[in-house]
Amino acid sequence: MALGFMSTAALGCVAELEIADKLKNGPKSVALLAAESGVKEEPLYRVLRALATAGVFEEQAPKTFALTPAADLLRRDAKGSMRNMMLFLATRIHFELSPEMMHSLKTGETVVEKVHNVSVFEYFEKDKITGEIFNDAMTDFSAVVIPAALEAYDFSYLNGKTLIDIAGGHGKVLTEILVKHPEIRGRLFDLEHVVNGAKPRIESLGLTGRCSVCSGDFFKEVPQADAYIMKHIIHDWDDAKATTILKNIHRASAADARVILLEGVIAPGNAPSVGKWLDLEMLLMPGGKERTEEEYRALFAGAGFHVTKFVPTKSPMSVIEAVKAN
């Protein structure tokens, strides 16, 4: 566990070099992989050898490697690809912030503001490359989460109505829902520089007639709609800021509107949990948190909503549905 930073760095390197893509059609020697990637043979071998001990790649013959199921997820075109997520987790900001965790323990403040003197989202806007990697990672993660959510949760009650995706990034979540449910109308709401990146997706899927984009600040106001969906948004914020977002939705929405969250839900006990580790990233970067069922119920209640259901999915995320409280 203590050397986890090394595995992150190694995975980031092989993701950037597209090693998994180069092995798609079968095993290759390290010499060939190094030549194709423009790197030195010996260091690449040492990286692949280490990753193979964790089941990422397999050394089938001396200095010859093949894909494993875990390595296959690093291919660009793999179903459920984690390539962009690994590129994001291996960005410089993570290695700058993690050694400063004690600052958050002592002050309760985010580390990114201590190190860079800006919020993490201001950092992503300033550092365009990292910001784009982040958005691409969220798009890929949506490709895993949304099919699972569509299987577990029935959106058909929104036929003929408008669903708005708050902070919807490049529109992966919303467009997947609209493709499956052709009678639902959609609006994508995010910062202007973000939603502009969603327009090619909307056009390529033939959704221009029933999916629009709009920009704004969800801490100030959100557009009116029949239902609201947010994926991995509320966990970015502390209770006070998350309540502000939900209250703005409450103010804009109709009496029968529903709010749908796609979020991880922290389970009790000591079982292995990705969410409990992701919670530490929330501590260091945006200042948010992963929450338990009880914490989500309390959060919604504070904004005038009542949680009606928690729906587990085959992904790490659950669907959380809420309506206005009586």
∠ CA 162-135-203, nearest 5°, is 50
**pLDDT (tens place) for every residue of the chain, 326 residues total:** 777 889 999 999 999 999 999 999 999 999 999 999 999 999 999 999 999 999 999 999 999 999 999 999 999 999 889 999 999 999 999 999 999 999 999 999 999 999 999 999 899 989 999 999 998 898 888 888 899 999 999 999 999 999 999 999 889 899 999 999 999 999 999 988 888 889 999 999 999 999 999 999 999 999 999 999 999 999 999 999 999 999 999 999 999 999 999 999 999 899 888 899 999 999 999 999 999 999 999 999 999 999 999 999 999 899 999 999 97
- The sheet carrying 58-61 orders its strands as 28-29, 64-66, 58-61
pLDDT score at 2 = 74
Q: Determine the straight-line distance between the first and last CA of the chain, rounded to whole angstroms.
A: 48
Domain span(s) for CATH 1.10.10.10 in the chain? 4-75
pLDDT score at 233 = 96
Distance from C-alpha of 101 to C-alpha of 80, rounded to nearest angstrom: 31
Query: Which residue in the block uniquely carries the two structure tokens 């902070």?
Result: 167
pLDDT score at 188 = 97
pLDDT score at 144 = 86
| Helix extents (H) in the chain | 4-16, 19-22, 30-37, 41-52, 69-72, 83-89, 92-97, 101-107, 111-116, 120-126, 128-152, 172-180, 192-195, 199-204, 239-252, 274-284, 293-301
Query: Which fold is adopted by the domain 4-75?
Result: Arc Repressor Mutant, subunit A (1.10.10)
pLDDT score at 140 = 86
- CA atoms within a 13 Å half-sphere pointing along the CA-CB vector of 124: 18
Collapsed DSSP state (helix, strand, coil) of residue 111 = helix
pLDDT score at 289 = 96
Spatial CA neighbour of 262 closest among 186, 319, 177, 322: 319
pTM (global) more than 0.95: no
Q: What is the pLDDT of residues 252-265, one digit of tens each?
A: 999 999 999 999 99
pLDDT score at 293 = 97
Collapsed DSSP state (helix, strand, coil) of residue 237 = coil
Asked if 232 and 138 touch (Cβ cutoff 8 Å), the reply is yes
Q: What top-level class would CATH report for the domain 145-324?
A: alpha beta
Asked if 148 and 311 touch (Cβ cutoff 8 Å), the reply is no
Asked if 29 and 63 touch (Cβ cutoff 8 Å), the reply is yes
Q: Which residues contact 34 (CB under 8 A, 6 or more apart)?
A: 40, 41, 44
∠ CA 60-62-67, nearest 5°, is 30
211-215 vs 185-190, strand pairing mode = parallel
Distance from C-alpha of 48 to C-alpha of 163, rounded to nearest angstrom: 45
318-324 vs 305-312, strand pairing mode = antiparallel
**Which of 94, 235, 250, 306 is labelled catalytic?**
235
pLDDT score at 246 = 98
pLDDT score at 135 = 85
Residue type, 280: L
Write phi, then psi, for 324 (nearest 5 degrees): -65, 135
Burial of residue 260 (number of CB atoms within 10 Å: 0-12, 13-18, 19+): buried
Residue type, 295: E
Q: What is the pLDDT of residues 59-77, one digit of tens each?
A: 999 999 999 999 999 999 9
Spatial CA neighbour of 250 closest among 301, 324, 320, 166: 324
235 catalytic residue (yes or no): yes
Spatial CA neighbour of 320 closest among 239, 259, 255: 259
Domain span(s) for CATH 3.40.50.150 in the chain? 145-324
